[in-house]
Amino acid sequence: MKKKKIGKNMERMQLLGGMRFYRQLGGVYRQSARCYQQLESVYRQSAGVYQQLESAYRQSARYYQQLESIYQQSARYYQQSARYYQQSARYYQQLASVYLQSAHVYQQSAHIYQQSQHMITYFVCPLYPRP
């Protein structure tokens, strides 16, 4: 009888130990499920951060494209203004050349006028005496 009672007690203890083991295993399973949920949450958050980073990268790429476009436009503007200043410099050089030529012509005409005055004085005036 004692043997049966000891055997039943052993069985009961083994059964209780197995139940305790399964309870602990369930707790471990729940903890691992919570860990996986936390990992999934972290993964979702990191995916959101990566999307934000990608969006910021796209925006900065657009910003740099706009800057490059502005730089190219300003380079074209400075090239056009350089051509304009070169043309205006040529125009002023031509104007100065025309001014010098007209001054030379004016000097020549003044010289011719003086010569004609001398000719009138020496050749025409003696023919017509003054009253």
Q: What is the pLDDT of residues 113-126, one digit of tens each?
A: 998 888 877 776 66
Q: Is it the case that residue 6 has pLDDT exceeding 80? A: no
pLDDT for residue 27: 85
pTM of the model: 0.46
**22: confidence class by pLDDT, cuts 50, 70, 90:** confident
pLDDT one-digit tens code per residue, 32-91: 999 999 999 999 999 999 999 999 999 999 999 999 999 999 999 999 999 999 999 999
Q: Is the pLDDT of residue 9 over 80?
A: no
CB proximity list for 3: less than 8 A, separation 6 or greater: none
